Structure 1
Amino acid sequence: MRWTTALFASVAVVAPVQASAASDYAVLGPRFAAGKAGSDVGRAIIARAHAALTRPPGAIPRLHTEGTLPGKGIREISLVAKRDQPIVLDLAMAWRLTGDRAFLAQAGRYLDAWASIYEVSLNPIDETGFDTLMMAYDLSRADLPADQRARIDAFWRRMATGYLEAMDSPALGHANTNWQSHRVKLATMAAFETGDRALIDRARAAYRNQIAANLRADGSTFDFEERDALHYVTYDLEPLMMAALAANAHGEDWYSWAAPSGASLPKSLDWLAQFANGTRTHIEFANSKVQFDRDRAAAGQDEYAPHPWKPEAALDTFWTARLLDRRFAPLANTLAANAKRLPAAWLTLY
């Protein structure tokens, strides 16, 4: 599929879902995956969920991988615990696809374990994967027992208020980096999960502040200036798109908003698309200003050593973008064809 300069034409924004009030879900509404149980992706989800029906949850009180090198104890423990994240989403999607209450019960068991055991740390890099748990809750909340719902609802409220309060603090670190993009994602999705309009309004303001602080008028990002890596551009844009997608699911168009500087999410996606479609190339981390990138490369994490960026690394980025802006559908399909794989299952079913 040929990708042309039509990309830079006027934005073809996907119309927000009509919603009269904030519903109690983050992103995946009541029509998600309808009629798709027989698709290849649907069957694969159901098979994975079947395999997880007897697997116990691995919830722990704290996750910590940010800033750690391979072999560190807490890192390895956390990576094992994080295996729960795609599993609980598979279970919840299988419930939505089949109506089999065994999947619902196991999804509820996982969600309740994390809500009861985990202590929100407000480290957005460690906790960014909780978006999968929120989407799992989107698909299961209405049918879970009331006591489970109460515990899980309280957990999302703690997450929403915690991140919003953290972003209001003048002492906040990483206030204009990819960290803040992940804070915005978690706060926004959790706010919509609660349905609390005051929290949603605060999340919208935080989103706009990050667009203005992190994205540049030419489409590049602050993190690209610091890290010299398109990896960190995708790590900026993906969480911001998740926040915009949550808003879109509730009838609000955050995606099109532009800062006074002219920076906007569509403009930054256009900038990244030049690399994803092969018009431009880039050597990752060649001139990073961050010592930790060199430390990770020295510790054997080759993805942080200088190397040519591969467009397929933006597969999930542009499959998310296509849900907000139809212009990116051809590029998303081309990346999937070149990578010979599909993106995350929920993106395929959306």
Structure 2
Amino acid sequence: MRTGTRAAVHCTAILVAMLAGLLGWSSTTPAHAAMNFCAAPALQSGERTDADPGERALVQDAFARLNDAPRAVARLHTEGTLPHQGIHDRSAEAKQDFDWMRNAALAWRATGDQRFLRYVARLLDAWVTTYQPSFNPIDETKLDGLILAYDLTASALPVKTRNATIAFLRRLASGYVERIDSQPRPLQHTFANNWQSHRVKLIAMAAFTLDDRKLIDAAQRLFVEQVGTNIALDSTTRDFDERDALHYVTYDLQPLVMAALAARRHNRNWLRERSAYGATLERALDWLVPYALGRTSHQEFVHSRVPFDETRRAAGLRGFSGAWDPSRATELFHLAARLNGRYQPVALHLAPVPPPWLAVCLPLPARSSER
């Protein structure tokens, strides 16, 4: 190629790149990240205009937040408090960052637009250098969004951001493991109820994202222990017995399903991991199915033994009195369908499409398999 022609091609490339930037296009092809949880690959350019409406909505929402400043705080606390008490409202607002960074990471995977990647990096930088883990799993359960955001973008993040996030996730997961292992056996109280399910979720998701063999082994051990501790012979959860509420059945099972999805990406079937007496996560989900389909109803919290449930009922918080609303299990069963497709009819009965983030992250249900 002659010098003049080469220069013309170079100038054309610069103009195309500038135009792409002005029009909001990505001038780079979608990068590949560590996909330990989400299965959806980045879309090719020709597919983007035909994207699912939920995906388009997620991308548009993520785009609208690109200029939002991080709301990182050193401490989060909503557990055991009502709205407007203490730092409840500030914490609830700050936690929205975790969903938004996850959605921005998914938007980046779907479009290749580097602005989404930079937004994720900005939020990760703020949170992993500011937040101090309290190891209260109810306050910290939404950190699963931060873990997914990192998981989706890890290989493309700046080295400083990646290293700081790795250190944060290792400290978070190791801290939870140490606190659980320091407890006497059999586990009791908040180390046996829904709190423990949320601990196991955070440990498992961080362990598989980091590909840390020691943490992965701990996550599997603690998952099986929680299934045996929390799920009874009749497949009810400990929380259902204590709280008399399907609200807490879903709150118990959803983090365990998330943990099992993280394991599934590494060819481990935790849905059917059995406790010493045969309890499984699958059996507990099956127990909930008639309620989710509306064949059986339940009046919530009538015989709860936890005083805070009465406090929330008296405050008029939605879902703490009256009949259980099956729609509260929508995300749970759409997630469960990604473990076993036989839950897909239940999920579709509750909602014809999954939540937008899940539609992008894991767009297809798993194949059906009977027990």
TM-score normalized by the length of structure 2 = 0.84
Tell me: CA distance 1:183–1:212, structure 2 relative to 1, closer, same or farther (3 Å): same
**Do the aligned residues in 2 keep the contact of 1:25 with 1:192 (CA within 8 Å)?**
no
Structure with more relative contact order (C-alpha pairs < 8 Å, separation 6 or more): 1
CA distance in 1, matches of 2:212, 2:135: 20
CA distance in 2, matches of 1:282, 1:313: 13
Of the three residues 123, 148, 170, the one matched with 1:110 is 123
**Do the aligned residues in 2 keep the contact of 1:58 with 1:84 (CA within 8 Å)?**
yes
Q: Please give the secondary structure, in 2, of the residue aligned with 1:201.
A: helix
Partner of 2:356: 345
CA distance in 2, matches of 1:291, 1:149: 43
5+ long unaligned stretches in structure 2: 1-32, 363-371
Q: Please give the secondary structure, in 1, of the residue aligned with 2:87.
A: helix
Of the three residues 293, 309, 318, the one matched with 2:333 is 318
CA distance in 2, matches of 1:302, 1:312: 13
Partner of 1:174: 190
- Per-residue deviation, 1:279: 2.0
Aligned AA (1:117): T
- Per-residue deviation, 1:34: 4.3
CA distance in 2, matches of 1:32, 1:66: 36
**Do the aligned residues in 2 keep the contact of 1:177 with 1:222 (CA within 8 Å)?**
yes
1:116-155 equivalences in 2 (<5 Å): 116-155=129-168
Tell me: CA distance 1:128–1:26, structure 2 relative to 1, closer, same or farther (3 Å): farther
Aligned AA (2:63): H
Aligned residues: 322
- Per-residue deviation, 1:166: 1.1
CA distance in 2, matches of 1:336, 1:141: 32
Tell me: CA distance 1:32–1:224, structure 2 relative to 1, closer, same or farther (3 Å): farther
CA distance in 2, matches of 1:330, 1:33: 27
Of the three residues 256, 277, 284, the one matched with 1:268 is 284
CA distance in 2, matches of 1:343, 1:283: 26
Partner of 1:7: none
Partner of 2:92: 79
- Greater mean alpha carbon deviation, residues 96-105 or residues 70-79: 70-79
CA RMSD in angstroms, aligned pairs only: 1.6
Partner of 1:6: none
2:209 counterpart of 1:193? yes
Partner of 1:164: 177
CA distance in 2, matches of 1:181, 1:26: 20
Of the three residues 245, 248, 273, the one matched with 1:257 is 273
Tell me: CA distance 1:217–1:33, structure 2 relative to 1, closer, same or farther (3 Å): farther
**Do the aligned residues in 2 keep the contact of 1:25 with 1:195 (CA within 8 Å)?**
no
CA distance in 2, matches of 1:289, 1:134: 34
CA distance in 2, matches of 1:174, 1:312: 26
CA distance in 2, matches of 1:73, 1:267: 39
CA distance in 2, matches of 1:26, 1:161: 19
Aligned AA (1:321): A
Of the three residues 38, 51, 57, the one matched with 2:64 is 51
Partner of 1:238: 254
Tell me: CA distance 1:335–1:302, structure 2 relative to 1, closer, same or farther (3 Å): closer
- Per-residue deviation, 1:33: 5.7
CA distance in 1, matches of 2:329, 2:137: 21
CA distance in 1, matches of 2:271, 2:280: 8
1:220-253 residue CA offsets vs partner (Å, 9 max, x unmatched) = 1100000000010000100001111000011111
Aligned AA (1:52): R
TM-score normalized by the length of structure 1 = 0.88
Partner of 1:334: 349
Runs of 4 or more off by more than 6 Å in structure 1? none
Partner of 2:37: 27
2:223 counterpart of 1:207? yes
CA distance in 2, matches of 1:87, 1:49: 7
